[in-house]
Amino acid sequence: MRINETDGVSASSKHLVFAYYVTGHGFGHATRVVEVVRNLISAGHDVHVVTGAPDFVFTSEIQSPRLFIRKVLLDCGAVQADALTVDRLASLEKYSETAVAPRKSILKDEVEWLNSIKADLVVSDVVPVACRAAADAGIRSVCVTNFSWDFIYAEYVMAAGHHHRSIVWQIAEDYSHCEFLIRLPGYCPMPAFRDVIDVPLVVRRLHKSRKEVRKELGIEDDVKLLILNFGGQPAGWKLKEEYLPSGWKCLVCGASDSQLPPNFIKLPKDAYTPDFMAASDCMLGKIGYGTVSEALAYKLPFVFVRRDYFNEEPFLRNMLEFYQGGVEMIRRDLLTGHWKPYLERAISLKPCYEGGINGGEVAAHILQETAIGKNYASDKLSGARRLRDAIIFGYELQRVPGRDVSIPEWYQTAEDELGLSASRSPPCTPEGDSTVKLSTEDFEILHGDCQGLPDTMSFLKSLVELDIIKDSDRTPEKRQMRERKAAAGLFNWEEEIFVARAPGRLDVMGGIADYSGSLVLQMPIREACHVALQKISPSKQRLWKHALARHNDKGQGPMPVLQIVSYGSELSNRGPTFDMDLSDFMDEGKPMSYEKAKKYFDTNPSQKWAAYVAGTILVLMTELGVRFEDSISMLVSSAVPEGKGVSSSASVEVASMSAIAAAHGLNIHPRDLALLCQKVENHIVGAPCGVMDQMASACGEANKLLAMVCQPAELLGVVEIPSHIRFWGIDSGIRHSVGGADYGSVRAGAFMGRKMIKSTASGMLPQSLPSSNGLNNIEPEVDGVELLEAEASLDYLCNLSPHRFEALYAKNIPESIVEHQFVILYTRISESRHLKHC
């Protein structure tokens, strides 16, 4: 159901009491609640706001005896390490501390309070336990939001381990007690709600005109004005005068007490931000519902920097960019002050949002009608069951846009009209198509036969289309995805482009124990990663504007630069582009250490993906002594599903290194290339994987099984698959990551178990030797000095037979052990540090 307009919230004949719960995450939720509450109070109702936000957020806009503020925090939202970084584990632990541990007392207190104020309706934005408390009190409840915490926390559980999974189910169950959801634009998948009413943007009204605000600030109308709106500055960050273009001024929200440069103006903490936004020429900040909705409403160009691990951001970002309102700034350029190219780009935009901005009024009308007794909802299923049913549904929404019927209209329209799909190459063109012939004629096929690889044919065709995008003025800017536009400006089309392909793989047998030395059978799958690479003189490379500005600031001539575009970023929270000076890989005349490289890429999680690609360059420099004097431009397009255990990361590494090797004339044997790619993932990305994935991608053959003993990488050859047998991989809906907590725990546990076995065997050896009377000191079943010696130096768990393990060692392996006990009993400190990183 969609409601766009109302005749206002007319005064009801019945005086109503609303209990409005506001989540504890930041001020953004509180500021949009203000607009709904203002309309409810204008209609003559009492509103009790339950919040942890400061009073001034509400009282600066609403001065009424019908507004009651109750300072209680019933959830914590996302815990932020700084203005741009969410701490996922801390968020789950804080929620458990705030809302799970005291749950019984919270419910008891809230039920008593709701009954004491005689609430007619409970409204939540979007506190989970409020819905359950309302149900226990026998009061109807409604949620108003663009996202729900079960969706946000689901990915955090992936990083933090399964022991927090119950939090997600409990939140979903709480939401299921809500009658329906008033859904705001830019929304995420929210499977816990079945009944939905869509409303326009909720935007705070303006108090002053642009002219009035500028007059009060003493800023002329022709002066370019930036508003810096981060809700707090990154730690240790100091603003400098040269960050702004000449003649610009900047308004700073939430500034620290440190002195600002003369072209920066500190706003009071209680400043009414919408007025200052409407008086500005562009905004620099982080994406949230409040900043995006008000930037669209006021047609204010928005230069944004991604936040790490906040899952609502991709949906808001797509809305912002569809209406031509957004420019992404790389975090490195934010912190180092390279703002000028982004600001100049922003003021050239023409934001075009023309939709409704009266969502606060519309939502208030719906809430009033619901409190009076109108029924908007239908029967619904269990929230937890709906969430389980929707996990794959939600994952498909992120990875394959256009399939979900509840995708917002602006979103589905953008995807369908563009004909673009994240993580997918364009559809294969039928044989004989002239466009395909044109694309193949423009490329030299270095290895393999393109006729047997339809996805490669499609990828080559997409490169030709990029050249068309670059030269075409027919396509409106808003109909081009940012990653495609970046790719169109990536290559010099007069120079050679090298293309490499590497498939994902299906683990047919043994892969779970690759780090224990098992025999594995791996099958390459038809989904693959393609990388297009151009090696080019720095003087001929087409640099992005921000990279060019960075070089100009250094006052140096052309230098080798690495530029990468990654397709498939638009629906996940990673940046579509990455660039760096190749000299950044050098440290005092030598390639930087892997440890320093890992820290380099860890600095900005939204661009950490680049470690899989750029890391191949550093490994070649370090292991083979290769030096890169030319610039490198790379386009990465992978159809291998991410997070599904089919080696999406290995395919990217293998395709990237293969393309680099081909462009630079390096003849690397596939097995050696796989081992080099493993170094990328182990040491630069920091994921503790074995080499099986890279081996399968580099050495596997189509329609055959690659046999390998992982000790560490003994290739046994390929196994023919009988013609009557087919292998299928079924998506379980559970995300997988070799960098995840669960994988790391299991792997570390295997190595700890091996150490315990070696220690036990070493302790048995003296007893197995003949004593002075010629007899052994241990039972016959343990006899065999050679076996014990081998087990005392055991390299791989798979070399220990199950019978030996059960007979000698199983009883000595504890089910659990804490770190300091393990160190004392089984290993030295240096070895324990290795275990942490293995």
| Calpha distance 94→88 (Å, rounded) | 10
Going from the C-alpha of 20 to that of each of 23, 47, 198, 241, the distances in angstroms are 10, 7, 19, 43
Residues paired with residue 264 on neighbouring β-strands, in sequence order: 250
DSSP 3-state of 249: strand
| Calpha distance 217→228 (Å, rounded) | 16
| Calpha distance 792→801 (Å, rounded) | 14
Q: Is 589 exposed, middle or buried (0-12, 13-18, 19+ CB in 10 A)?
A: exposed
Q: Say if CB 313 and CB 306 are below 8 A apart.
A: yes
Q: Cite the DSSP H helix spans in 737-818.
A: 741-768, 785-792, 802-804
Supply the Cα-derived Rg of the chain in whole angstroms.
Answer: 30
Q: Positive or negative, the Cα torsion across 789, 795, 796, 799?
A: negative
**How many residues belong to the chain?**
838
Nearest to 406 by CA among 146, 720, 159: 146
Token pair of 219, please? 């800023």
Nearest to 409 by CA among 319, 479, 289, 477: 319
Nearest to 495 by CA among 533, 529, 448: 533
Going through 390-539 in order, the beta strands assigned E by DSSP cover 498-509, 519-536
| Calpha distance 330→327 (Å, rounded) | 10
Q: Say if CB 97 and CB 110 are below 8 A apart.
A: no
Residue 470 burial (CB count, 10 A): 15
Q: Say if CB 128 and CB 192 are below 8 A apart.
A: no
| Calpha distance 670→720 (Å, rounded) | 20
- Which of the 8 DSSP states describes residue 282? E
CB environment 675-713: b (16+ within 10 A), e (fewer)? bbbbbbbbbbbbbbbbbbbbbbbbbbeeebbbbbbbebb
DSSP 3-state of 746: helix
DSSP 3-state of 125: strand
| Calpha distance 605→308 (Å, rounded) | 6
Residues paired with residue 717 on neighbouring β-strands, in sequence order: 707
| Calpha distance 240→250 (Å, rounded) | 11
DSSP string, 553-603: HHT-----EEEEEETT-TTTTS-SEEEEEGGGGEETTEEPPHHHHHHHHHT
Q: Say if CB 553 and CB 470 are below 8 A apart.
A: no
Helix (H) or strand (E) holding 152: helix 149-160
Neighbouring residues of 385: CB distance < 8 A, sequence distance ≥ 6: none
In the set 507, 584, 693, 783, the catalytic residue is 693
| Calpha distance 403→500 (Å, rounded) | 30
Count each helix (H run) and each strand (E run) in the chain, helices first: 30, 22
Residues paired with residue 22 on neighbouring β-strands, in sequence order: 125
CB environment 609-626: b (16+ within 10 A), e (fewer)? bbbbbbbbbbbbbbeeeb
Verify whether residue 731 is a known catalytic residue: no
Residues paired with residue 498 on neighbouring β-strands, in sequence order: 533
Nearest to 574 by CA among 498, 665, 638: 638
Catalytic residues: 693
